[in-house]
Amino acid sequence: MNYADGIILCFSLLALVAFGFSVAAASTQLKELSDTGQRGTDSLTLLVPVRNESLSVLQILKEQLLSLKDNSAFDFRIIDNGSAVPLRFDDVSLDQHILCTAADVPGSKKSALKLGIEHSHTDWIVTTDADTRWTHDWLNIIAQQATKDRSMLVGPVFSEEDGSFCSILSYYESLCLWTIALASCSAGSPILASGANLAFRKSAWLDVGGYASHLSTPSGDDVLLMAEIWRRYPQGIGVLKGRNAYTTTTSESQIADWMAQRKRWISKTAHLNSPFKKIFSLLIMLWLYSPIVLVLLHPAFTMLWIGIEFCWIFNLARWYRINYSLPRFLVFRLVYPIMIPFVFFSMPKTWK
């Protein structure tokens, strides 16, 4: 083995160790909580920003919201964030829950959420997106875990997979991202969160000034807010546990849209301001590219590495009772590392 091969092997082993620790930490968070009937909070408000959504999306959203109307513990607000055609449902009872952002307010998601939070009468706020689907007891699970020692709960969001190229990339990416979120939260230094499955105290949101410090940033209603709350309440952020604690979203259908979404995600990495988070992010990059680099030593090393990863993905997907496929995971694992550099190189230079 020459010097170059030794370096490759050393960094690959370092990435594998980081992967092992991440999986071990993530595994501790996969728990099914017993339903004792007790709740951490007796009421919460669900906020759903809407802007120019298709009729099919609005129909599914209507059905999901109507299922909440008989539960007095759950309030909800639909915020019409400057839709070209003012939002209206064919059910008058839902129209009473619609808020509209002012015409002179910039049409950002944060402005819409801010309006909804200000009109809420509960201390716990739950956010999701209009095209998100949730399980039947999702809000009950949140209410159960919204305890006094928590300021924010981060929940899993899985992309739906229909066999198309973009959906395969998005689906297995969402499983990997949730692994990272589980591991970082378990380590006490959370890195990732999604506004499609996020709960937080209104009082904590007010304590950190809401979205004021990053209101002009196009996105970040999730991770940037999480970073603010973590600095104020370092022990207050927890993972939403339970097999039915996840929500699902649709994948982008075009590769250009897929890349644009990843650009927005990367633009939010300014919150990685602690040494642990920066080191952890570096190890993630080593983890991502190690299988490709290991080909230089022997293809068997690459296949062994990917096999180890799939064992975890298989375990994670089976625990949540969602789909998994080795051939499709191989497509994701071999193509995804190639796609990421194109996302970086196509990003505007003004983004950090």
> Which pLDDT tens digit goes with each residue over 94-126?
988 999 988 666 558 888 999 999 999 999 999
For residue 293, being part of any structural domain is answered with: yes
pLDDT-derived band at 144 (thresholds 50, 70, 90) equals: very high
The tally of domains found in the chain comes to 1
Indicate the average pLDDT of the chain: 88
For residue 77, being part of any structural domain is answered with: no
For residue 19, being part of any structural domain is answered with: yes
For residue 58, being part of any structural domain is answered with: no
For residue 109, being part of any structural domain is answered with: no
For residue 262, being part of any structural domain is answered with: yes
Q: How far is it, in rounded angstroms, from Cα 87 to Cα 98?
A: 8
For residue 226, being part of any structural domain is answered with: yes
Helix, strand, coil percentages for the chain (3-state, nearest 5): 50, 10, 40
pLDDT-derived band at 151 (thresholds 50, 70, 90) equals: very high
Placement of tokens 């410090």 in the chain: 213
**Predicted local distance difference test score (pLDDT) of residue 107:** 59
* Whether pLDDT at 294 is above 90: no
> Which pLDDT tens digit goes with each residue over 183-219?
999 988 899 999 999 999 999 999 999 998 887 776 7
For residue 329, being part of any structural domain is answered with: yes
> Which pLDDT tens digit goes with each residue over 73-95?
899 999 999 888 889 988 878 98
* Whether pLDDT at 337 is above 80: yes
pTM of whole model > 0.75?
yes
Provide the phi-psi class of 152: left if phi over 0, else alpha when psi is between -120 and 50, else beta: beta
* Whether pLDDT at 305 is above 60: yes
Residue whose C-alpha is closest to residue 192's, from 165, 230, 162, 161:
230
**Domain limits at 313?**
1-41+123-352
Q: How far is it, in rounded angstroms, from Cα 271 to Cα 278?
A: 10
> Which pLDDT tens digit goes with each residue over 12-68?
888 888 888 889 999 999 988 876 667 788 899 999 999 999 999 999 999 999 988
Lowest mean pLDDT among 289-293, 322-326, 328-332: 289-293
